[in-house]
Chains A and B, each alone.
Chain A
């Protein structure tokens, strides 16, 4: 990441111009060539700094008012294999292995699910249980009650990578 990469991300993290040649537009505001902007984006995608350039839906606005953080206690030797399978379910948006806090928090797999109703969400949890079969020793689901703060990942203006 150098100064130009940083500049490009700062100018676009709030949104890409929705015009037919968006990278040309970004290049104009920065004062470099469109080829340069596209080359840098391509590189940042390859490096994984940018996951993708995409539509980020607002779940809540789309009717997905319920989100449940489901947590599962799986044997250490099986969590990776099962995690991949749970993570590939289309209603699971994030799926991570995280540390346990014993004795009161035995869960090592977190899977976030989004649904339009409680019934839909219960159905989703059942599907996860089917995948885990007899391997799950304990589980829980933490429903969202209220959004207390909502800020996505933003790069600070003054941030320095050098």
Chain B
């Protein structure tokens, strides 16, 4: 891993976010006892090196009025590449993971309109002749994106 103790402190602290202030990094730098310039340089370095995917607003699809659901398929081994290509071709498909299970393909569907979820599900089912199971969240028990570093 290419991060040092200071980077670690910065990531730990900034996972919970900044306040909306004119100079939001100033208080964070004070808290971490480093220079604000160094904080910003290091932050940019972490983004450039891909240690952070980004630094910015984390959006909530449902609050934005869109549809979001987890979906799963059970894809025969010999059709896996073909089906992956079809599923990934839909812009509504976000993260897609191969998982070690009978239900071996798991992806997130994100649509502008909640009603479009079912439409994308039916399109994928039609093109692959496989079942697409939807696992919409019924309840969220705290989202804790904070990695312990």
> Provided the pairs A22-B24, A53-B57, A98-B138 are in contact, do residues A93 and B143 lie with their beta carbons within 8 angstroms?
yes
* B138 partner residues in chain A, CB cutoff 8 A: 96-99
Minimum distance in angstroms from B111 CB to a CB of chain A: 10
* B100 partner residues in chain A, CB cutoff 8 A: 142-145
Residue contact B53 to A98, C-beta cutoff 8 Å: no
Q: Which of A18, A62, A148 contacts B51 (CB 8 A)?
A: A62
> Provided the pairs A83-B139, A153-B59 are in contact, do residues A58 and B94 lie with their beta carbons within 8 angstroms?
no
Kindly state the separation between the CA atoms of A116 and B87 in the bound complex, as whole angstroms. Answer: 29
Most chain-A CB neighbours within 10 Å: which of B52, B68, B149? B52
Residue contact B59 to A155, C-beta cutoff 8 Å: yes
Kindly state the separation between the CA atoms of A65 and B19 in the bound complex, as whole angstroms. Answer: 31
Residue contact B137 to A96, C-beta cutoff 8 Å: yes
* B44 partner residues in chain A, CB cutoff 8 A: 18
Residue contact B18 to A18, C-beta cutoff 8 Å: no
Kindly state the separation between the CA atoms of A71 and B133 in the bound complex, as whole angstroms. Answer: 15
Residue contact B20 to A54, C-beta cutoff 8 Å: no
Count of chain B residues near A, Cβ 8 A: 75
Residue contact B55 to A16, C-beta cutoff 8 Å: yes
Minimum distance in angstroms from A29 CB to a CB of chain B: 14
Q: Which of A80, A144, A155 contacts B97 (CB 8 A)?
A: A144
Count of chain A residues near B, Cβ 8 A: 77
Kindly state the separation between the CA atoms of A44 and B57 in the bound complex, as whole angstroms. Answer: 10
* B25 partner residues in chain A, CB cutoff 8 A: 20, 22
B130 within 8 A of A: no
Q: Which of B22, B57, B136, B144 contacts A24 (CB 8 A)?
A: B22
> Provided the pairs A93-B144, A159-B112 are in contact, do residues A147 and B59 lie with their beta carbons within 8 angstroms?
no
A126 within 8 A of B: no
Minimum distance in angstroms from B83 CB to a CB of chain A: 10
Minimum distance in angstroms from B119 CB to a CB of chain A: 16
* A97 partner residues in chain B, CB cutoff 8 A: 137-139, 141
Q: What 7 pairs between A and B have smallest CB-CB spacing?
A: A87-B141, A52-B17, A54-B17, A55-B14, A149-B96, A83-B141, A87-B142
Apart from A57-B15, A142-B100, A149-B93: 7 A-B pairs, beta carbons within 8 A: A13-B59, A20-B36, A55-B10, A55-B52, A93-B145, A142-B99, A155-B64
Can you list 29 residue pairs at the A/B interface with Cβ under 8 Å? A13-B56, A16-B57, A18-B47, A18-B55, A23-B20, A38-B20, A48-B60, A49-B59, A50-B59, A54-B16, A54-B18, A55-B10, A56-B55, A67-B97, A69-B99, A69-B106, A84-B142, A92-B144, A93-B145, A95-B144, A97-B138, A144-B98, A145-B98, A147-B96, A148-B97, A150-B95, A152-B94, A153-B59, A161-B64
